Amino acid sequence: MYQEFRDGNFLVSTDPGKLDLEAIHEFLSKESYWAKGIPKEIMRRAIENSLCFGVYENRKQIGFARIITDHATFAYLCDVYILETHRVKGLAKWLMSAIMAHPSIQGLRRFNLVTRDAHRLYKQFGFTALNNPDGYMELVKRDIYQKIL
């Protein structure tokens, strides 16, 4: 069962059938700082294996968010965006409210995200800086999408 939230001409939906892969790929591969150059096939696989939220205005995709989760203990929020032409309308906050209300997110032990510039948004929903950053490790392959081409 998919969740949908409506507000006038705007819709947030978890229905994967509504997602516009072309629009998502266009933004992430060209406009985002975190997935620049991502191949469409990799983006498609990522979407298929994640809990996704599309944001639409009159059926046109204007935003997106993706959650990687086991639906029980852990989730990682990523690929969040609202098109620049639709920012400052409260849509990112509305999208985050829909995400936080989703049944798969309730009762998680840990819910992570990484952001370079949206700390104010996420703090409103209880996200904080790491309490123990020394416990976290990562393997980062910078510019991996440019190397694939």
**Which domains can be identified in the chain, with CATH numbers?**
4-148 (3.40.630.30)
pLDDT in tens, the chain (149 residues): 899 999 999 999 999 999 999 999 999 999 999 999 999 999 999 999 999 999 999 999 999 999 999 999 999 999 999 999 999 889 999 999 999 999 999 999 999 999 999 999 999 999 999 888 888 888 888 777 776 55
CB 83 within 8 Å of CB 27? yes
Predicted TM-score (pTM) of this structure: 0.92
pLDDT of res. 149 = 53
How far, CA to CA in Å, does 138 sit from each of 44, 46, 59, 142, 143?
24, 19, 38, 12, 15
Cα gap 63→75, rounded to integer Å: 20
Distinct helix (H) and strand (E) counts, the chain: 5, 6
